[in-house]
Structure 1
Amino acid sequence: MNDTYSPYFEFDRETWALSRDLPSLTVSEEEFEKLKGLNEKIAIEEVTKVYLPLARLLHLYVTSFQNFQAKMNSFLSVPAPKAPFVIGIAGSVAVGKSTTARLLQHLLSRWDEHPKVDLVTTDGFLYPNRVLEAKGIMNKKGFPESYDINKLMHFISSIKSGEPALKVPVYSHLAYDVLDDQTLHVDQPDILILEGINVLQVNTQQPYFVSDFFDFSIYIDADEEDIRDWYIERYHMLRDTAFRDPRSYFHKYASLTEEEAIHTAENIWRDINAKNLHENILPTKERAKLIIKKGANHMIEQILLRK
């Protein structure tokens, strides 16, 4: 760790793994396989070396937050509604945000102090395809303008105010659209994990931002060339699996030849995902409380914790 002149405490993989006072939590191989992403070829040791220390750190933050809430309620003599500790997870498409979010949800729910951990993705707050098509921005899906920011802000402010029984729109990657007939119910969790490429972005049209409601934020980082390779690899895996389902929005790509599939994936990355990464996602990295840097093999190599 070399943090003398840095705004971060900087840890390499091995130093981070030596964190003391770790919980005696375990994740089985079967659980791990279900939690990790489609094309993330990582070993279960990633849990013990990286995610257990991170979960322990977050546990310290959460319990401190809960104690402060109790003291504030006593000081103000006003019983406030239960508000969750909110964790935001940001980063590029295909970088592994969902795996991090699911693993943290699984681990953090093991503590008696905060057993109820809900996970919400910002995909549900995208405008439906019919709206994107009407606005002429279907090819900008994932860009800031493709989200119903007012609906997202209403949700995050409502949950942070302690409002119970909230309904969150659900997004289907199969249909590539928000589902009209399904909602996710979020009812005063102890911890809320909000995961999405846009959670650390600022919007000059709004007086406040989604991240204003975060108690902790994480940015998943990797070299762009590696993320591009992961995206193309995942595209190929989906082409051979999910895209073959006639209900899939991308079913038309299932019959592409190997060469055509590579060309299509590279074009999508270059024209949409890389552009969004440079313009809207990567500039938010330094706004995160913690930055996780991955290597080419998906393994986490460095962790930066803001002082």
Structure 2
Amino acid sequence: MTPYSNYLHFNREQWAALRNKTPLLLLEEELETIKGLNDKLSLPEVEKIYLPLIRLIKMRMQASVHLQAITDDFLNDEPVKKPYIIGLAGSVAAGKSTIARVLQTLLSRGEDHLNVQVVTTDGFLYDKQTLEKNQMMHRKGFPESYDSRKLIDFMRKVKSGVGSVEAPIYSHLTYDIIPDEVDIIHQPDILIVEGINVLQVDKTRHVFVSDFFDFSIFLDAEEQDLKRWYIERFLLLQQTAFQNPMSHFHRYIELSQEEAIQKASELWETINAVNLKENILPTRRRANIILKKGETHQVEKVLYRKF
């Protein structure tokens, strides 16, 4: 079997043609507020790549709602509002947070007025104190650094249609869970679950996060591009967020540009690259859609899983 033979392959123009008449309900100035620190995303890119994806998601969601209705009828169950759950996976620096916000914005607009919420699995990391106590700070982002039981319990409640479910909130500034603060997930029409680990499986468990997904997306790129984007973001943060004395990375603000590049490269090679190869890339072919970015952040290829 050739690599990804169970996927349909589309170039940019082929994929863009599937947009049909899906309207662009997004302004340039709105896109600027959505984009991450060094993400390069334009309105033409949204039109070519993300509007066809919005059309596909809405079509699949309609089919899912119909299937749920006939299943409830067969089982003589009372209908319960359950969210359509989308998993968004990919490496550090791939641009997942930006794409999650773009999808949230586009899906929530239109005549159906869908309630779309986003939750990141960062909130389900063990807190810094726990990671330090167990000497796991250098493994942050690896599967064992997450409270998997808590995350699975959260997913189970949301998928069951529980009225209000609490999700912990993570601060990239302090590099830690924010104590006594939660995000309330209240029966959305769509929930986007974003994180590097969302398609991973754990041989020690019988239930995985992805078991609760109705649709999944993997944001892909070559490792050399991911590393470059990570270093570029590190340099930008050194001049911005790292300047805050509360920042976990405040100690790096006095580094010269050469030293900062060296430090970012070291962090990438010893942590992120290892996690990418061991845990993230192996989950790629579990996704319904793979968006393959090129060196300029543009999506050059779209792969749609047939089975």
CA offsets per residue over residues 208-262 of structure 1, 9 Å max, x none? Answer: 1111111101101000000000000000000010000111111111111111101
| Mapping 1:53-92, distance limit 5 Å | 53-92=52-91
Aligned residue identity for 1:100? I
Distance 1:41 1:200 in 2: 25
Q: Which residue of 2 aligns with 1:279?
A: 278
Q: Secondary structure at the match of 2:170?
A: strand
Q: Note if contact 1:22-1:53 (Cα within 8 Å) is conserved in structure 2.
A: no
Call closer, same or farther: CA 1:20–1:98 in 2, change over 3 Å.
closer
Q: Which residue of 2 aligns with 1:153?
A: 152
Q: Which residue of 1 aligns with 2:289?
A: 290
Aligned residue identity for 1:163? V
Deviation at 1:50, TM superposition (A): 0.6
CA offsets per residue over residues 6-34 of structure 1, 9 Å max, x none? Answer: 21111001111111533223210111011
Q: Secondary structure at the match of 1:82?
A: coil
User: TM-score by structure 1 length?
Assistant: 0.96
Distance 2:280 2:21 in 1: 32
Q: Note if contact 1:63-1:113 (Cα within 8 Å) is conserved in structure 2.
A: no
Q: Which residue of 2 aligns with 1:117?
A: 116
| Mapping 1:1-307, distance limit 5 Å | 6-113=5-112, 115-307=114-306
Distance 1:118 1:26 in 2: 18
More deviation, 116-125/40-49: 40-49
Q: Secondary structure at the match of 1:19?
A: helix
Q: Note if contact 2:19-2:48 (Cα within 8 Å) is conserved in structure 1.
A: no
Quote the RMSD (CA, aligned, Å).
1.3
Identity in percent: 52
Q: Secondary structure at the match of 1:18?
A: helix
Alignment coverage as a number of residue pairs: 304
Q: Secondary structure at the match of 1:185?
A: strand
Distance 1:268 1:14 in 2: 37
Gaps of 5+ in 2: none
Distance 2:185 2:274 in 1: 33
Distance 2:72 2:24 in 1: 32
Q: Note if contact 1:89-1:193 (Cα within 8 Å) is conserved in structure 2.
A: yes
Distance 1:146 1:204 in 2: 16
Call closer, same or farther: CA 1:31–1:20 in 2, change over 3 Å.
closer
Q: Secondary structure at the match of 1:52?
A: helix
Distance 2:24 2:47 in 1: 9
Gaps of 5+ in 1: none
CA offsets per residue over residues 37-85 of structure 1, 9 Å max, x none? Answer: 2111232211111111100100001111112222222222211321111
Q: Note if contact 1:22-1:52 (Cα within 8 Å) is conserved in structure 2.
A: no
